[in-house]
Amino acid sequence: MGETTGTTHQIALAVDDDPSMRLMLRKTLERTGLEVHEAGNGQLALDRFQELHPDIVLLDISMPVMDGFRACTEMRRLENDRQTPIVMVTGADDHDSIRRAYEVGATDFITKPINWRILSHRVRYMLRASQTMRQLRESEMRNRAILEAMPDIMFRIAADGTILDFRPGQASALDLKTSRPVGRTVSEVLSGTTGTLMENHLRRALRANGIQQYDFEVKSALEERVYESRLVASGRDEVFAIVRDVTDTKRAEERMRQLAYFDEMTGLPNRQFFKEQLEQSIAQARRYKRQMALLFVDLDRFKRINDTLGHNIGDLLLKRVAHQISHSVRESDVVGRAGVEELGQIARLGGDEFTVVLSEIKSPEEAAQVARRIQESLVQPMKVGGYEIVITPSIGVAIYPDHGEDLNTLLKNADVAMYYAKGEGRNNYQFYTPAMNERAFDRLTLENALRRALDNNELFIHYQPQVNLESGEMVGVEALARWQHPERGLLSAGNFIPLAEETGQVILIGEWVLRRACEQHCEWLQAGLPPLRMAVNLSGLQFRQEGLLFLLRDVIEKTGIDPAYLELEVTESILMQNTEQARERVQELKDLGVTLAVDDFGTGYSSLSYLKNFPVKTLKIDQSFIRNVAEDADSMAITDAIIAMAHSLGMRVIAEGVEKDEQLNYLRRQNCDEVQGFLFSRPVAPEVIDEHLRRQAEGVLLPDQPLLAAAE
């Protein structure tokens, strides 16, 4: 087959029974650059036709064996739609032949006598036309194939909206009113707004010389699908429309946006989205010279709930909290505006941290109202996964522009205010003040210094005697951690243990205290002194720690302490969280041979009936009751009740914080077993205990020999 472009190597087949005619044809056509082959009759012409696939055939009509008409008919049958130009050579006024030539499929005719000068031009023109026709056919085939392969719905629409052509694609989903849309108008076929939209864009596509693109939704009883429609003018007064179902793409896009901008668990905007929203709010507030507020909400003791009740419960709780906060921010009556509207934008920054942006406030009091709203909404006990949980928020508030004019400053200061709120006893809100920054800085430097304290041997222990009221003898000591801070001097546990608990450093510190206290116990024994019960505080983190039993076994083995002399103090709130696990842990500790004391009793749940499920030996009444015990009737009643009930459960009772004789006398009357407090001794260095043990052996008792002089 010849080339489809250019005339080089194109093949012409000259068919005539007259050799001179063939020669003339050959000479003429070769001059136009064609490769010319000859045949002397119709049959030979057919053979050559099949073999050469010529680009043009010049075919004489009257020939022996097979005439030109037959040959043309056969060629058309054989060529398989190639539409090779076949030019019949007829007599000049032989009208019948000309008509028949067309009937049998000839492309054109030339008349004899042949005008040789124009023959080459006509042949070249015909070749060009045939080539163009072929390219057109091919491109049409390609287009048809493309259209076939496309899942889209296609319309060809006239300027008046009449559908000229239609390919259904996924039209069923498009909810057409008829299955035969051709001949009807767009608005007859497509439902309400969809039809109107298409008509509008149809007019625009005809006016403008470009693609008109728009999206629309189709809702059916079952689902909602999104379509993208493109319209382009395909003639002076018709338009071609491609309608594509883009529901899946849109959903994927939406999901990606959701993932990038929203917190999966609560569905609230995430940190990224929050920052963008806050930037916008700040820009608006700056432009319109408005005040705005940023509330930083952190849940108190959330980590503990997560650790004790598990992450599933923690997650559920966060969802509930997100819902509650959203609800309280959505309440319209907070600022006395009519109707329910969104007063603030809420986000979850991560963990248990939420933010609320109030982008337009008249005064900071509005922010305070929202903060109180949030507090109130959370204060109700929440039923989560079978548990009843009470969670309180600590909220820091920063106001634009007073507390910061850019995102980072506002965020940092709201965060600082939140920390301050936590420090103020949690469950409250605080507005930022510049003084808070100094405190936050202090906290940070303290945290860093504490990290180095153990390595630098800056920690040590003071021991506070526990005195038996009947014998008056010191029967035990409580080990209390102390820190000799390089710049701040001596810090007692209350100044750094809460921070160590927050940062987790309490694990290492607690381990060190435990080891050192047990060693101390044994050193006193080795010095020939009588055995003293050694009470060591255990923080919640330590109590729940996997490796606690391993650590205790190791300490008991390495120091050689008799575990019966080791008493671990845990607060009642630690025991009351996740009670089943706590009970198991207490039993494990008991099995090790150590005893357990409940510290700060009276400050939390104070459920003695609950406590009886725990094999606990000692109950320590919190200082706050002892402080007022001699004067205040309530404190007296509580103290009496605790002592009586503890005794009925076979527990020993130690009163903490005894500072005055009246307190001591009262406790004595109530048969309290032991006391601990400044009246007898402050926490002191081990040498002081040492000395007292020796004097005690000589019969000198506390507080007649108060160790206060040697105290911290």
| Residues at the interface with ligand C2E (CB under 6 A) | 464, 480-481, 492-494, 497, 506, 510, 513, 537, 539, 569, 599-600, 623, 656-659, 676-678, 683
- Name the residue among 74, 81, 29 with its Cα closest to residue 56: 29
- Residue 87: C-alpha distances to residues 21, 53, 61, 67, 135 (Å): 15, 15, 10, 14, 20
Q: In angstroms, rounded to a whole number, what is the distance separating the alpha carbons of residues 33 and 36? A: 9
Residue 227: CA atoms inside 13 Å, Cβ hemisphere, count? 26
> CB-wise, 307 or 315, nearer to ligand C2E?
307
Burial of 543 (C-beta count, 10 Å sphere; 0-12/13-18/19+): buried
> CB-wise, 306 or 676, nearer to ligand C2E?
676
Write phi, then psi, for 194 (nearest 5 degrees). Answer: -60, -45
| Cα-Cα-Cα-Cα dihedral sign, residues 649, 651, 657, 658 | positive
> CB-wise, 512 or 610, nearer to ligand C2E?
512
Q: In angstroms, rounded to a whole number, what is the distance separating the alpha carbons of residues 229 and 241? A: 7
Q: In angstroms, rounded to a whole number, what is the distance separating the alpha carbons of residues 688 and 73? A: 129
> CB-wise, 62 or 606, nearer to ligand C2E?
606
- Name the residue among 285, 313, 519, 515 with its Cα closest to residue 400: 285
> CB-wise, 657 or 703, nearer to ligand C2E?
657
- Name the residue among 53, 56, 8 with its Cα closest to residue 32: 8
> CB-wise, 49 or 463, nearer to ligand C2E?
463
Query: Which positions ≥6 away from 430 have C-beta within 8 Å?
Result: 395, 396, 397, 417, 418, 420, 421, 424, 436
Minimum separation from the CB atom of position 224 to ligand C2E (A): 58
Minimum separation from the CB atom of position 475 to ligand C2E (A): 16
Helix (H, G, I), strand (E, B) or coil at 473: coil
Per the structure block, which two tokens stand in for 447? 């945290």
> CB-wise, 415 or 569, nearer to ligand C2E?
569
Q: What is the largest CA-CA distance in the chain?
A: 157
Q: Which amino acid makes up residue 563? A: P
> CB-wise, 364 or 706, nearer to ligand C2E?
706
Write phi, then psi, for 153 (nearest 5 degrees). Answer: -95, 135
> CB-wise, 358 or 664, nearer to ligand C2E?
664
The 8-class DSSP code of residue 334 comes to G
Residue 273: alpha-carbon gap to chain centroid: 11
> CB-wise, 392 or 624, nearer to ligand C2E?
624
> CB-wise, 12 or 664, nearer to ligand C2E?
664
Contact 588, 560 (CB under 8 A): no
Minimum separation from the CB atom of position 441 to ligand C2E (A): 23
- Name the residue among 417, 413, 377, 411 with its Cα closest to residue 394: 417
Minimum separation from the CB atom of position 258 to ligand C2E (A): 43
Q: In angstroms, rounded to a whole number, what is the distance separating the alpha carbons of residues 595 and 586? A: 9
Per the structure block, which two tokens stand in for 647? 């005794």
Q: At what angle do helices 434-453 and 493-503 cross, to 10 degrees?
A: 90
412 Ramachandran zone, left/alpha/beta (phi>0; psi -120 to 50): alpha
Can you spell out the DSSP letters for 227-277?
EEEEEEEEETTEEEEEEEE-HHHHHHHHHHHHHHHB-TTT-SB-HHHHHHH
> CB-wise, 114 or 551, nearer to ligand C2E?
551
> CB-wise, 377 or 681, nearer to ligand C2E?
681
| Strands of 44-94, DSSP E | 56-60, 86-91
Per the structure block, which two tokens stand in for 711? 């105290």
Per the structure block, which two tokens stand in for 154? 């296609």
Minimum separation from the CB atom of position 486 to ligand C2E (A): 19
> CB-wise, 697 or 708, nearer to ligand C2E?
708
Burial of 448 (C-beta count, 10 Å sphere; 0-12/13-18/19+): exposed
> CB-wise, 314 or 510, nearer to ligand C2E?
510
> CB-wise, 54 or 657, nearer to ligand C2E?
657
| Strands of 587-627, DSSP E | 595-601, 618-621
